[in-house]
Amino acid sequence: MQLARAFLIRLLTTLVTLFGVAVIVFFVIRVVPGNPIAMMLPPGASDADIARLKALYGFDKSIPQQFVIWLSGVLHGDFGTSITRRQPVLDLVLNRLPATIELAGMALIIATIIGGFLALTGTRLRGTKTEAAIDVGSGMALSIPDFLWGLLMILLFGVLWPVLDISGRVTPSLQLPFTTQFYLTESVLRLRFDLWRDIAGHMLMPALALAIPLSAIIGQLLKQSLKETMHLDYVTLARTKGYGENHVILREALRNAILPTLTLIGVQFTFLIGGTVIVERLFSYEGLGNMAIDAVINRDLPLIQGIVIVFALLFTLINLAVDMCYALLNPRLRHG
């Protein structure tokens, strides 16, 4: 009951947050220099031509009037039409979102596996040279930003040892039988592992670039949590019962130590989605982030608004889900 009430309150605050984001984005992108009309002005445009173009795209009205028109459209599911792509914004955004979610999801899985492995190895071999090497490696992974990892991987696996595809989401010559944009997921569901291999091959480098810094964060936090847990009484008791070190770490300590890491993973997932913007661009990956950069370069205001709202919605929903999961997993929170 308490959980349901908390959920409802969070849902309401989410709506308020989204409205706030909508207001800020709408006004800010109209105030910053650079408008789409100036970018498409023909060489010999007269004042009348400029006025005509402004009216054509609805920029002849005051900003509050534009906001009201846009908001009423959004409430009816109409996010407007992209100026550069001449298609409904919502269609464009929903079409690209699955690619970004799959990329971020794959990066998260890779980061969790690498980070988890490093933390467990570091804990198991604590005080040895291996732990020191893991710490140094984690420091390096953290200090290099994801796009530089991307460039490094392009050099390694695209040029020196060209085994992975540098750009795109799928080989252009392949015929895709998919009905959704969740290519990777759908290829598994359809048991088309030939396609899965191609899609995963395209996704591997951008996903790794995103995952490496995150894996270091996960690894460090989990290792620290494990270290603290290893000194607790129940762990000592397990040792005195004669359990081996691997059993103590995996079966006893990990269950408690993983909770703060799970929260971090949830929070980092939102940052991961934000990080896709640059990485998608670098690898010409057809996700939402790549489209966002084009929208900003071309000052495609309706598209920028649509993308930001969707990103904001995604962030708040993920945070909500993380909070709910945490409450469910943590008995102290579950029972108030």
Binding site for other proteins (CB under 8 A): 33-36, 38-46, 49-50, 52-53, 56, 82-87, 151, 154-155, 158-159, 161-163, 165-170, 172-173, 281-286, 290-291, 294, 297-299
Question: What is the helix (H) or strand (E) element at residue 12, kind and residue range?
Answer: helix 2-31
Instruction: Quote the least distance from Cβ 140 to other proteins, whole Å.
Output: 21
Instruction: Quote the least distance from Cβ 82 to other proteins, whole Å.
Output: 8
Minimum CB distance to other proteins smaller for 30 or for 239: 30
Instruction: Quote the least distance from Cβ 259 to other proteins, whole Å.
Output: 39
Give the largest Cα separation in the chain, rounded: 88
- Return the residue matching tokens 């996960």: 218
Q: Which long-range contacts (CB under 8 A, 24 or more apart) does 124-132 make?
A: 124/245, 124/246, 124/249, 126/227
Minimum CB distance to other proteins smaller for 35 or for 121: 35
Residue 84 CA to residue 48 CA, distance in Å, equals 22
Minimum CB distance to other proteins smaller for 156 or for 333: 156
Instruction: Quote the least distance from Cβ 301 to other proteins, whole Å.
Output: 11
Minimum CB distance to other proteins smaller for 167 or for 185: 167
- Contact at 8 Å (CB) between 237 and 219? no
Sequence-ordered list of residues with C-beta below 8 angstroms from that of 105, at least 6 positions apart, any chain: none
Question: Six-digit token pair at 128?
Answer: 């040895």
Minimum CB distance to other proteins smaller for 56 or for 189: 56
Instruction: Quote the least distance from Cβ 56 to other proteins, whole Å.
Output: 5
Sequence-ordered list of residues with C-beta below 8 angstroms from that of 41, at least 6 positions apart, any chain: 49, 50, 53
